[in-house]
Structure 1
Amino acid sequence: MTERTAHGTPDEAPESAHGGVSRRHLLGLFGAGAAGVAAGAVGGAAVVAATAGGAQAVSGSGAEQYPFFGTHQAGITTPAQDRLHFAAFDVADSLDRDGLIELLTEWTDAAARLTQGLEVAEGGAVGGSDVAPPVDTGEALGLPAAGLTITFGFGPGLFEDADGVDRFGIAARRPAELVDLPRFQGDALVPQYTGGDLCIQACADDPQVAVHAIRNLSRIAFGRASLRWSQLGFGRTSSTSTAQATPRNLFGFKDGTANIKAEERDALGEHVWAAPDDGPAWMAGGSYLVARRIRMIIENWDRVQLGEQEMLVGRSKGEGAPLSGGTEFTEPDFEATGAAGQPLIDTAAHVKLAHPTQNGGARMLRRGYNFVDGNDALGRLDAGLFFLSFQRSPQQFIDVQRSLAADGLNEYLKHVGSAIFAVPGGVAEGEFVGQRLFA
């Protein structure tokens, strides 16, 4: 249940427009639990190919680089990578407006380097003083960029805290739709997987590269923002490009067949990117990110007969074709009936309830990932789907989720985490992420 689109990368990493991450903050973060930054540029000859987003993707020796700077943030329509490290942060009570801008500036400088396979700052893991902590944690030394993208978002609490205080002078610029999601039927949310003032989504084809990015960005934030919760993901559960095969979720079904693809420019403009007249001007070219941690009751599902599994989903488990007939990409026919007159696709099937025709035409670009976080006290796998969707308006997600209240799959799902973030538009060289919000 996830999606992505392609962005590209220049042949060389862009120079930091702000002089790099401040050493004062990096040196104070040793022991803050941040994960390293990729070191070393991609080796070998580079092949440059145009992507659907109009940017240039640079690849070589099996590695890819995507540019951090552009019209939209990377990691949305970028072709979905295989690994994820997602992190939500709370800002410190002592942080002021200047401090927040400084943090976003340093994060921007670091992200621009990391996505090009460079260490977080000059000096890196081994090039600094012997009597000071390294500015890079070093676990990605020698690894290529691995298609790393870093995407930033702003939560409702950044604009007003729980007491309604406008800490940073930006409450008047808060999008009207950026509010906590309503409670949905079946929600069992727990605080440790819910909310956040800021978020960072790091996607890569190497888990160590993704973790290294979040670790070092967390380290930079020390004393100004702290991790509220984070999630590792593997095995993307949607394709975001027509060049990608449809992956499978932990229920064993193909996921994201009908996802918006990077090549669908008109659909992106209609359903994903915020328009200048949608709300605050600083959100133009951005999107709204919904994150949901969905626990799958694996053990119960594994005892369900194949025919019932297919009925609940509305697709065949092998081909992924709708039960109304055809192949994976055949449009479902919800009016088709069997010999006894019963609908071939059940009225409570997931594919029907989530379909745009049942939700006023609403579509989302999804980028979900599988997760397995050990087991619970009863010995059951703590596993499921980390759902990520990008949409022009949060109402698109709300409409679909309310429709899914009747989903037969709900017997095997539990929503335990939830968050919403405004993802600003792309960053131009010389700017920091979200700069227009503070103008």
Structure 2
Amino acid sequence: MSHADDPDLLSRRRFLASAATAATVAATSAVAAPRVLAKSSSTTTNADADTVPFWGEHQAGITTPQQGHVYFAAFDLTTDKRDDVIALLRRWTDASAHLTQGQTAVPLTDDMANPPTDSGEAIGLTPSRLTITFGFGPGMFVTKDGVDRYGIQKHRPEALADLPRFNGDQLVPERTGGDLCIQACANDPQVAFHAVRQLSRLAYDSAKLRWAQPGFMAAQKDKGTPRNLMGFKDGSMNPPINSATMMDQYIWAGNDAGWMNRGSYLVARPIRIALEHWDRMKLGFQEQVMGRHKDTGAPLGSKHEMDGLNLDANDADGNPVIPENSHVRLGAPAVNDGAQVLRRSYSYDNGLSFTAERWPPWRQAMEFDAGLLFLCYQRDPRTGFIKIFENMSKFDMLNQFVTHVGGGVFACPPGAKEGGYVGQSLFELA
């Protein structure tokens, strides 16, 4: 008998589906469960080529080759009961294992007396390499009204440090923080949104959405480094995801990390870009700001994108070829004690909104509410993002065009074993 055909497991999933939709179905009831109409939302005959495994040592969506779209969401927990949080994580894990394989989060039924168990907008779509990655914010570990809500405060990792207030931050409370986060990535934006929507439905009695941000990444013809909305290649200095040594050194938490061993820490930051301001700048100035050539992505003074940074090179006048306050120099490991992070960023476009520019010409108008959803993973944010961004926030020439408007830091636990749940290593601690 296959795992999917286990009658006890199927019965449990039917119960969860009913619970999520406020049905009063008891697990021991003599009444027959609603007839299952479909197990899968995918009609593809070769789903394996379009799927990413959910179970494993690490959560998918971290070192997974980047998909074309993301839907990122942060949640606030509304329950004070530890068992409710565990039940939610079990539901989310079980549902995600199905969603990433092209199935509905819970089986579809013909129960006309309750809401549908799936919203239905992804029925017929392929899995589109969907990955779902979960993270725990600092709020899960803090006391509320003097009470350690979930009995885990003492297990908060030191690496899950609150981000300092950086120079230039204009963080909007409604786009900042969160007790939990979900990063859903897929090659189809509807598949990514559908996944977060279903998980949100399963959380109605335990958590509520705090903020969310969809994003996209244009596919390159040569499958090279993608470009951001400023037109420059984004992520050229990433450590190679196919190097286990590099990932262990910079991305995965180690044996000394306790329950976070083989997990990673995520920093998420929506960054608004003043595109109207940037588009008025001369090409030469844009390249000086970035420290790279716009067409090839090569460091200034070099020909190829992956050429090493020659930070000691000077021009005929004795000035650094790569300016001292350029983006690429200030973010380089060589000037940050070797610090590196794994960028997994996406562009975003929220339409238009009224804004006042931070720099001359101090323009105030309806402008694009667009920019970069900066996502980066690391072994420890204190020696990763915080270390790198402290100087960048003060001296980077790019700051006159970008504003960090929200975000948070999250501990992304190791992957789950089949039959378990994400975060189990934390909640099994006494």
Look up the match of 1:50: none
Unaligned runs of 5+ residues in structure 2 are: 24-37, 355-364
Asked if 2 retains the 8 angstrom alpha-carbon contact of 1:38 and 1:120, the reply is no
Q: Does 1:402 align with 2:394?
A: no
Which of 310, 321, 329 is equivalent to 2:287? Answer: 310
For residue 401 of structure 2, what is the amino acid of its counterpart? Y
Q: Does 1:267 align with 2:207?
A: no
Task: Map Cα deviations across residues 10-69 of structure 1 (whole Å, 9 max, x no partner).
Answer: x9979769933713432139xxxxxxx9943462346xxxxxxxxxxx31xxxx100110
For residue 232 of structure 2, what is the amino acid of its counterpart? F
Task: Map Cα deviations across residues 339-386 of structure 1 (whole Å, 9 max, x no partner).
Answer: 222111101111100000010100001111100101112210000000
Task: Map Cα deviations across residues 68-93 of structure 1 (whole Å, 9 max, x no partner).
Answer: 1001000000010010100000001x
Alignment CA distance shift 1:12-1:380 (3 Å): farther
Q: Does 1:336 align with 2:313?
A: yes
Counterpart Cα distance in 1 of 2:5 and 2:140 = 29
Which of 348, 352, 355 is equivalent to 2:325? Answer: 348
Counterpart Cα distance in 2 of 1:283 and 1:244 = 33
* Pair member with larger Rg: 2
* Residues 222-261 of structure 1 aligned to structure 2 (within 5 Å): 222-235=204-217, 244-261=223-240
SS for the counterpart of 1:108 is: helix
Alignment CA distance shift 1:260-1:181 (3 Å): same
Residue 163 (structure 1) shift: 4.2
Which of 360, 368, 373 is equivalent to 1:381? Answer: 368
Residue 402 (structure 1) shift: 0.7
Task: Map Cα deviations across residues 176-226 of structure 1 (whole Å, 9 max, x no partner).
Answer: 221320010110101011000000000000000000000010000002100
Q: Does 1:81 align with 2:74?
A: no
Task: Map Cα deviations across residues 236-271 of structure 1 (whole Å, 9 max, x no partner).
Answer: 69x9xxx94100000000110111222121110000
Alignment CA distance shift 1:13-1:39 (3 Å): same
SS for the counterpart of 2:106 is: coil
Look up the match of 1:192: 174
Asked if 2 retains the 8 angstrom alpha-carbon contact of 1:83 and 1:235, the reply is yes
* Residues 353-368 of structure 1 aligned to structure 2 (within 5 Å): 353-368=330-345
Counterpart Cα distance in 2 of 1:180 and 1:225 = 21
SS for the counterpart of 2:177 is: coil
Look up the match of 1:151: 133
Q: Does 1:139 align with 2:121?
A: yes
Residue 145 (structure 1) shift: 0.3
Percentage identity across paired residues of the two chains: 47
For residue 105 of structure 2, what is the amino acid of its counterpart? V
Asked if 1 retains the 8 angstrom alpha-carbon contact of 2:269 and 2:408, the reply is yes
Counterpart Cα distance in 2 of 1:88 and 1:338 = 47
Look up the match of 1:22: 16
Counterpart Cα distance in 1 of 2:94 and 2:145 = 32
Aligned residues: 397
Q: Does 1:104 align with 2:93?
A: no
Task: Provide the TM-score with structure 2 as the length reference.
Answer: 0.88
Which of 429, 433, 436 is equivalent to 2:418? Answer: 429
Asked if 2 retains the 8 angstrom alpha-carbon contact of 1:128 and 1:135, the reply is no
Look up the match of 2:44: 43
Asked if 2 retains the 8 angstrom alpha-carbon contact of 1:274 and 1:286, the reply is yes
Look up the match of 1:129: 111
Counterpart Cα distance in 2 of 1:411 and 1:320 = 21
Alignment CA distance shift 1:113-1:332 (3 Å): same
Counterpart Cα distance in 2 of 1:74 and 1:163 = 36
SS for the counterpart of 1:100 is: helix
For residue 54 of structure 2, what is the amino acid of its counterpart? F
Residue 388 (structure 1) shift: 0.4
Q: Does 1:67 align with 2:49?
A: no
Asked if 2 retains the 8 angstrom alpha-carbon contact of 1:155 and 1:197, the reply is yes
Task: Provide the TM-score with structure 1 as the length reference.
Answer: 0.86
Residue 332 (structure 1) shift: 1.2
Alignment CA distance shift 1:174-1:25 (3 Å): same
Counterpart Cα distance in 1 of 2:421 and 2:11 = 9
For residue 144 of structure 1, what is the amino acid of its counterpart? T
SS for the counterpart of 1:152 is: strand
Alignment CA distance shift 1:109-1:236 (3 Å): farther
Of 135-144 and 333-342, the range deviating more from structure 2? 333-342
Unaligned runs of 5+ residues in structure 1 are: 1-10, 30-36, 47-57
Asked if 2 retains the 8 angstrom alpha-carbon contact of 1:38 and 1:142, the reply is no
Asked if 2 retains the 8 angstrom alpha-carbon contact of 1:324 and 1:334, the reply is no
Of 99-108 and 257-266, the range deviating more from structure 2? 257-266
Look up the match of 2:100: 115
Asked if 2 retains the 8 angstrom alpha-carbon contact of 1:290 and 1:389, the reply is yes
Asked if 2 retains the 8 angstrom alpha-carbon contact of 1:39 and 1:117, the reply is yes
SS for the counterpart of 1:19 is: helix
Look up the match of 2:202: 220
Counterpart Cα distance in 2 of 1:80 and 1:355 = 22
Alignment CA distance shift 1:22-1:385 (3 Å): same
Alignment CA distance shift 1:313-1:271 (3 Å): same
For residue 403 of structure 1, what is the amino acid of its counterpart? N
Counterpart Cα distance in 2 of 1:365 and 1:178 = 17
Residue 326 (structure 1) shift: 2.5
Asked if 2 retains the 8 angstrom alpha-carbon contact of 1:103 and 1:221, the reply is yes
Counterpart Cα distance in 2 of 1:165 and 1:182 = 25
SS for the counterpart of 2:198 is: helix
